[in-house]
Structure 1
């Protein structure tokens, strides 16, 4: 079962939250318990964030919630593998595959490296002392599409 494509509703753009709702209904119809559980978890996290902020989330904020869930699953997966819990590791992998459907296409390391060089040129950064200036400009551009640790490493390598 594929998630709802943004173009399936015609010309209007489907928000992440609408997509999650549509996919949840489809998962119920198809009796896909794993997908249904993951979607409910994400919707619950989004709802909790809305309650915390006392307002509806923007598309970027909702995407951040999904990215955070994905990152937590990555961390859990590493712990499960280290503890030789193959059953839990496999469950985490399958849930990560579902979460990945809701994240934008990740940037390659080469794309991030190119963006790092562009930001360094724009900011005039020359040393590690300028790292904060570069990271502040770069992170909004790669948010949800590149791992912060990778971005940090590439910036450090470029500012040596």
Structure 2
């Protein structure tokens, strides 16, 4: 089942169960997907839907940090609830050992271990870890690994 079909089925189930908060988040996800489809005049596949979900997760995390800094715990709680629903559609995150193995394989594939290999290594890791790891943290790990 495709991600878009799963979202549609979950939206129907949330409507029937009267889960208004979950329904609202699923509608936000569908709206973001539809907006990208309209903007780019394409039908998104599962990998592109994952990219939309990753962007939404990043937005929610940024909002939570800003709300907490401003002392708005009520709004941060709403964002946390949305984040939990969105993360439910992402694949299981990679563990540290799995991520290190991916990075090592990408470095070996690039053939060079200096900082100049950063782009090649990140491209390989991003393709393998799509939706399963925070790319900002991955970038820091790759940079540290290439530097030392």
TM-score, length basis structure 2:
0.95
Q: What is the aligned-residue RMSD (CA, Å)?
A: 1.0
Partner in structure 2 of residue 108 of structure 1: 95
Q: Are positions 1:50 and 2:31 aligned together?
A: no
Partner in structure 2 of residue 69 of structure 1: 56
CA distance in 2, matches of 1:84, 1:42: 27
Partner in structure 2 of residue 5 of structure 1: none
Contact 1:28 1:36 (8 Å CA) reproduced: yes
Equivalent residue in structure 2 for 1:157, among 130, 144, 148: 144
Q: How does 1:4-43 map to 2 (within 5 A)?
A: 14-43=1-30
Runs of 4 or more, structure 1, over 2 Å off, are none
Contact 1:125 1:134 (8 Å CA) reproduced: no
Q: Which has the higher helix share?
A: 2
1:52-109 Cα offsets, whole Å, 9 max, x none, are 1212111111111111111111110111111111101111111111111110111122
Contact 2:50 2:130 (8 Å CA) reproduced: no
1:159 match: secondary structure: helix
CA distance in 1, matches of 2:109, 2:42: 35
Partner in structure 2 of residue 137 of structure 1: 124
TM-score, length basis structure 1:
0.88
Q: Number of residues paired by the alignment?
A: 147
